[in-house]
Amino acid sequence: MLNRCKYVAVSRKPSPESAELDPGINEQDERLIGALYQAFGSRLLHHVRRATGNDHHWAEDVVQETLVRAWRHAGKLNHEPGLLWAWLLTVARRIIIDGRRRRSARPEEVEDTGLDAVSVPDESERTIAAMVVSEALERLSVEHREVIEETYLRDRTINEAAEVLRIPPGTVKSRLYYAIRALRRDLKEKGVT
């Protein structure tokens, strides 16, 4: 397959398409690049894809740029298969390195997510519920309110609350039971469940 690269018919007359792109490129150079792509394209893509972390689109761009550079330097290329392959790998590696440097030199681009449409949690329900519970606590007897404050609001155990309030743990349990019952009843009447 590579022998086609080596023995391409020489024609000094450039094709109209190649003359428009680059007046120094002739038909022989175009055939050489076609043969390079035939001989090395899939192998180069496979190699480059691994080097780009399996980023298929980037790998395709690297292969394309490598072959464009080969096309530009077609007259200077050594047509020996091993040297051509080494040259292509070197160029592709340098393109990848340049791409990584470019990506690390500037921040990653992100799409506009429409930040004006991002919802902010509405805390009004929670605030109103806290106010209703606070009012319900005020309507409890002093003994019941103290037990709720010590156990729920100050996060103390029954024994710790009993020690702070200077009452037996059994009394704390009993008052806590009746205080919670009274709170539930009051909140149910206010429509808060």
Q: Residue 68 belongs to a domain with what CATH number?
A: 1.10.1740.10
Residue 124 CA to residue 26 CA, distance in Å, equals 75
Half-sphere exposure of 162 (CA within 13 A, CB side): 12
Q: What is the CA radius of gyration of the chain?
A: 39
Residue 185 CA to residue 99 CA, distance in Å, equals 68
Is residue 91 domain-resident?
yes
Q: Are residues 21 and 98 in the same domain?
A: yes
Q: Is the pLDDT of residue 15 over 60?
A: no
Q: Are residues 7 and 48 in the same domain?
A: yes
Is residue 119 domain-resident?
no
pLDDT band at residue 37 using 50, 70 and 90 as cut-offs: confident
Q: Residue 175 belongs to a domain with what CATH number?
A: 1.10.10.10
- pLDDT score at 129: 79
Q: Is the pLDDT of residue 39 over 50?
A: yes
pLDDT band at residue 16 using 50, 70 and 90 as cut-offs: very low
pLDDT band at residue 14 using 50, 70 and 90 as cut-offs: very low
Q: Are residues 164 and 95 in the same domain?
A: no
Is residue 114 domain-resident?
no
- pLDDT score at 186: 87
User: Which DSSP category does 167 fall into?
Assistant: S
Is residue 44 domain-resident?
yes
Q: Is the pLDDT of residue 119 over 80?
A: no
Is residue 113 domain-resident?
no
Q: Is the pLDDT of residue 132 over 90?
A: no
- What are the DSSP E strand ranges found in the chain? none
pTM: 0.43
Q: What is the tens place of the pLDDT at every residue in 137-192?
A: 889 899 999 999 999 888 999 999 999 999 999 999 999 999 999 988 988 887 77
Cα 119 to chain centroid distance, Å, stands at 21
Contact indicator for 65, 48 with CB cutoff of 8 Å = no
User: Which DSSP category does 192 fall into?
Assistant: -
Q: Return the closest-CA partner of residue 85 out of 113, 50, 111, 48.
A: 48
In the chain, how many domains are there?
Answer: 2
Which is more confidently placed, 175 or 85?
A: 175
Q: Are residues 100 and 9 in the same domain?
A: yes
Q: Are residues 64 and 138 in the same domain?
A: no
pLDDT band at residue 116 using 50, 70 and 90 as cut-offs: low
Q: Which domain holds residue 62?
A: 3-105
pLDDT band at residue 3 using 50, 70 and 90 as cut-offs: very low
Q: Is the pLDDT of residue 27 over 50?
A: yes
pLDDT band at residue 29 using 50, 70 and 90 as cut-offs: low
Is residue 88 domain-resident?
yes
Is residue 117 domain-resident?
no
Contact indicator for 22, 72 with CB cutoff of 8 Å = yes
